[in-house]
Amino acid sequence: MINVHQFGALPAYAAADDEAVSVLVAGNVVLWDEISTADPKPWKLEVFDAARRWARHRGL
């Protein structure tokens, strides 16, 4: 599993500007909120929680 601190090693992530990454992160929260609300399987709730933690980490 990749943690958020490893993303900087990925060329596409490293080259992205901060605003683009923030849009991606915010979109992930909305996406996984919808998915986990519609079908609250444990793994989906965990992905939603990870998306929220990433957003908090970025100050969103």
Kindly report, residue by residue over 5-60, the tens digit of the pLDDT. 666 677 777 788 889 989 999 999 999 999 999 999 999 999 999 999 999 999 99
Residue 13: name the closest of 43, 49, 54, 52 by CA.
54
Whether 1 shows a pLDDT value over 70: the answer reads no
Number of domains in the chain: 1
pTM listed for this prediction? 0.79
Q: Which domain holds residue 22?
A: 16-57
4 to 1, 22, 39, 54, 55: CA distances (angstroms): 10, 13, 25, 7, 10
In the prediction, which pLDDT does 8 show? Answer: 64
Residue-wise burial string across 14-23, b where 16 or more C-beta atoms lie within 10 A, e elsewhere: eeeeeeeeee
The pLDDT value given to residue 7: 64
pLDDT at 4: 57
Q: Is 9 a member of any domain?
A: no
CA 31, distance to chain mean position in Å, is: 9
